[in-house]
Structure 1
Amino acid sequence: MVRAVSSAPETFRRVSFEVPGGRMAGIAFGAQTATPDIVFIHATGFNARTYRVLLEPLGERFHVLALDARGHGLTTLPHKLFSYTSWKRHRDDLIAVLEHFTAPVTLAGHSMGATISLLTAGVRTDLVNGLALLEPVILPAAAYAGSQLPFGPQLQRMTMPLARGAAARRNQFASREEALVGLTGRGIFKTFPAEVIADYVADGLVEDGAGGFKLACAPAFEAATYTAQRHDPWGALRKVTDPLVLLRAEKGSTISEAAMHRVAAIKADARVATVEGASHMLPMERPDRARAAIESAALMARQGRKYHDALVQ
């Protein structure tokens, strides 16, 4: 049986922002104000709409903006592979959007999006008043040193299993319905609720000009994203001055337990916790915990203080 791509009506606003080189697309929830309370960035390969189930309830209390990163979703910024060796490109895109606003915001993100949020806060503390990092990609220092080697990112695209798998991902579909059926219960989508997969497909596929559809995030670009690690989240972390909430998954996390403890040591007032039973797809598997983390960071930012004495519950 072919299921509808999305049976739910759009309960968000479509928005876009002119930035150097093109336009950055997004969706928004809650009251429309001059400056959002929360700006959310998605993980590699996904798009803002994939997180609708997570973010929509926050719209009851906050103005929430979720953006499609360069090379993803409906954003029209160029995404060539040449010289794509770090996530600073995405950091600068986010800064360009934040400069549209009149006040600082709470940044939140998943995986790559969490790290982009951290990198942004590290260089523009004036634009940020809080951070909620869901399964950030924060590697050991040695891994970043390896990325600095000549042609390091390019070589990793050919040798890293994650990058090779992404490069081989199926890219063409006859329809969004075919993609929905093909993705359900498979790979990284195995633990996703049906409505989350439908939201991913809705903005994650674009017309291919031949009557079918292709992935908005091209497999080659996704593969390059995994190996574009010439940035320094540890240095950014030391410069963060605002409330920080971090959730780590118990299984297959992109931040080791040792790294999480190092984060807590560098920022003693951070709220850090491991979500039992969750995988790297924590926001899809446990939206309640992820939503609570984002809300906590936003409330602490609103109150102009840091949290000192409890973990995320």
Structure 2
Amino acid sequence: MNVVVNAAPARRELALADGAISFLEWDDGAGKPPLHFAHANGFSGGTYRRLLAPLAGEFHIRAWDARGHGHSTLTADPAKHRNWYVYRDDLIAMAEDFRAATGQKIILMGHSMGGAASVMAASERPDLVRGLVLIDPVMTPPLFRYMMKLWRLTGRKGGPMSLADGAERRRAVFESRETAVDRYFGRGAFRTWPRKFLEDYIESGTRIREDGQAELLCAPAWEAANFRAHGHNMNRAVAKLNVPFALLYAAEGSTCRQPFPTLMRARDRKAHIAEVPGSTHFLPMEFPDVVIAEVRNFKARLEAEGR
């Protein structure tokens, strides 16, 4: 990994009816093309600081903390959460504000849940979106959605609910941020993460309580609810998609399985779609140089096509 963090973002807010979206912003006022980054379930924009900061010399970047994550204050009730359309709508609000601020269409970039939200937002509002850079987006076929609904209705554990069950059992409070990093490093979902990325995840995804302990800002119950909330229709969103894109997906444990790479190809015949050898779902942390190069190549494609 050869990533240099060479820019510090500002933290800002976008007020909505039920609270505010908190986001990081890299902007030197030079009128660079706007790029918005949407993170994975359970994380925050700051988790990807080492991925985004090297691009700040070429883009005006915003990276949100999605509803129920990080420093955002929007309503997030796990008992009422059934699909990810709420993220689509929040992202449309972000894109509207970003376009108003820059006068340009936005490149939407997203990992995992953030990639899915970006596809749905672009499908719904192509007038706001210049293109998409997708990093192992979560694209669930109809059968998976039906299974999730069946498991939910019957109250069953395991199977398609395994990730949600595990998230619900997550420890939410640690003696310190250092303790949290030590607990996670090299283990479970974080086994392939470089320590610096893990430190950024804990730094941006926890708050220090009055008793000095570190508490996760994304409550385990909300993270679990996201894993269960698959009532949205990704097939429909892909069928409506009409913007250029680039897609990277994982070699192991990808959340963008067939038929979606093939379905996506039909939406943009010029798209660069590639499996990243040796990668897992956490390929932005494992191969940041590959992702950074993909963003730059996508920008060059848009410029060559006059988009």
Alignment TM-score, normalising by the size of structure 2: 0.89
Distance 1:207 1:167, change over 3 A: same
Trace 1:13-92 onto structure 2 (pairs within 5 A): 13-32=10-29, 37-92=34-89
Q: Deviations over 1:34-59 (max 9, x none)?
A: 78610000000111111011111111
Q: Deviations over 1:215-247 (max 9, x none)?
A: 111111111101111112221122222211000
Q: Distance in 1 between the 2:20 and 2:295 partners?
A: 26
Residue of structure 2 in register with 1:271 after alignment: 272
Conserved 8 A contact 1:147-1:229: yes
Conserved 8 A contact 2:7-2:26: no
Residue of structure 2 in register with 1:137 after alignment: 138
Unmatched runs of 5 consecutive residues or more in structure 1: 1-7, 307-313
Q: Distance in 2 between the 1:33 and 1:254 partners?
A: 36
Q: Distance in 2 between the 1:118 and 1:36 partners?
A: 19
Per the TM alignment, residue 150 of structure 1 is displaced from its structure 2 partner at its CA by 9.7
Per the TM alignment, residue 209 of structure 1 is displaced from its structure 2 partner at its CA by 4.6
Name the SS for the 1:139 alignment partner: coil
Identity level (%): 36
Alignment TM-score, normalising by the size of structure 1: 0.87
1:247 aligns with 2:261: no
Per the TM alignment, residue 298 of structure 1 is displaced from its structure 2 partner at its CA by 3.4
Residue of structure 2 in register with 1:298 after alignment: 299
Q: Could you tell me which amino acid in structure 2 is paired with residue 110 of structure 1? A: H
Distance 1:263 1:291, change over 3 A: same
Q: Deviations over 1:250-278 (max 9, x none)?
A: 11101124432232234323221100000
Residue of structure 2 in register with 1:222 after alignment: 223
Unmatched runs of 5 consecutive residues or more in structure 2: none
Conserved 8 A contact 1:144-1:230: yes
Name the SS for the 2:52 alignment partner: helix
Name the SS for the 2:280 alignment partner: coil
Trace 1:144-293 onto structure 2 (pairs within 5 A): 144-147=145-148, 151-152=152-153, 155=155, 160-293=161-294
Q: Distance in 1 between the 2:90 and 2:34 partners?
A: 18
1:97 aligns with 2:94: yes
Q: Distance in 1 between the 2:272 and 2:57 partners?
A: 24
Distance 1:126 1:304, change over 3 A: farther
How many residues in Structure 1 have an aligned counterpart in Structure 2?
298
Q: Distance in 2 between the 1:271 and 1:33 partners?
A: 29
Name the SS for the 1:60 alignment partner: coil
Q: Could you tell me which amino acid in structure 1 is paired with residue 11 of structure 2? A: R
Name the SS for the 2:68 alignment partner: coil
Q: Distance in 2 between the 1:16 and 1:157 partners?
A: 38
Q: Deviations over 1:133-189 (max 9, x none)?
A: 10011122322344566955x847776111111100111112112112212111111
Name the SS for the 1:18 alignment partner: strand
Distance 1:85 1:304, change over 3 A: farther
RMSD: 2.4
Distance 1:304 1:75, change over 3 A: farther
Q: Distance in 1 between the 2:79 and 2:251 partners?
A: 35
